[in-house]
Structure 1
Amino acid sequence: MKAFIFDLNGTMINDMGFHLDAWHNVINNDLGGSLSREAVKKEMYGKNEELLVRVFGEGRFTLDQMADIAMEKERRYQQVYLPHLRLIDGLPEFLEKAYQQGIPMAIGSAAIPFNIDFALDNLNIRHYFKAIVSADSVKISKPHPETYLMAASLLGVDPASCIVFEDAPKGVEAAANAGMQSVVLTTTHTAEEFAAYKNIIAFTDDYTSPALASLTVA
Structure 2
Amino acid sequence: MKAFIFDLNGTMVNDMPYHAAAWKRVANEVLGGNFTDEQIKQNMYGKNAEVLVRLFGSGKFSPEEMDKLSEDKEEQYRREFISELALLPGLAEFLERAHQAGIPMAIGSAAIPSNIDFVLDNLNIRHYFKAIVSAHDVTHSKPDPESFTKPAALLGVKPEDCIVFEDVPKGAEAARNAGMKAVILTTTHPVEDFDALDNILHFAGDFNDDYIKALV
TM-score normalised by the chain length of structure 2 = 0.99
What's the counterpart of residue 30 of structure 2?
30
Pairing 1:5–2:22 present: no
1:40: how far off? 0.6
Q: Which amino acid aligns with 1:117?
A: D
Q: Determine the C-alpha separation between the residues in 2 that align with 1:64 and 1:205.
A: 39
Q: Determine the C-alpha separation between the residues in 2 that align with 1:138 and 1:178.
A: 14
1:41: how far off? 0.4
Pairing 1:140–2:140 present: yes
What's the counterpart of residue 210 of structure 1?
210
What's the counterpart of residue 19 of structure 1?
19
TM-score normalised by the chain length of structure 1 = 0.98
What's the counterpart of residue 79 of structure 1?
79
Gaps of 5+ in 1: none
Matches within 5 A, 1:66-215: 66-215=66-215
Q: Determine the C-alpha separation between the residues in 1 that align with 2:2 and 2:214.
A: 12
Q: Determine the C-alpha separation between the residues in 1 that align with 2:68 and 2:176.
A: 33
Residue deviations 1:53-102 (CA, integer Å, cap 9, x gap)? 11111110011110110010000000000000000000000000000000
Percent of aligned pairs with the same residue? 58
Q: Determine the C-alpha separation between the residues in 1 that align with 2:71 and 2:129.
A: 25
Q: Which amino acid aligns with 1:52?
A: L
3-state DSSP class of the match of 1:202? strand
What's the counterpart of residue 51 of structure 2?
51
Q: Which amino acid aligns with 2:208?
A: T
Ranges of 4+ aligned residues in structure 1 off by more than 6 Å: none
Q: Determine the C-alpha separation between the residues in 2 that align with 1:9 and 1:77.
A: 12
Q: Which amino acid aligns with 2:118?
A: F
1:214: how far off? 1.9
1:116: how far off? 0.3
Gaps of 5+ in 2: none
3-state DSSP class of the match of 2:187? coil
Q: Determine the C-alpha separation between the residues in 2 that align with 1:154 and 1:71.
A: 28
Q: Which amino acid aligns with 2:212?
A: L
Q: Which amino acid aligns with 2:82?
A: L
3-state DSSP class of the match of 1:41? helix
Q: Determine the C-alpha separation between the residues in 1 that align with 2:41 and 2:151.
A: 26
Residue deviations 1:2-42 (CA, integer Å, cap 9, x gap)? 10000000000000000000000110000111100110100
Number of residues paired by the alignment? 216
1:44: how far off? 1.1
Query: RMSD over aligned Cα, in angstroms?
Result: 0.6
Q: Determine the C-alpha separation between the residues in 1 that align with 2:9 and 2:67.
A: 20
Q: Which amino acid aligns with 2:99?
A: Y
Q: Determine the C-alpha separation between the residues in 2 that align with 1:132 and 1:44.
A: 21
3-state DSSP class of the match of 2:5? strand
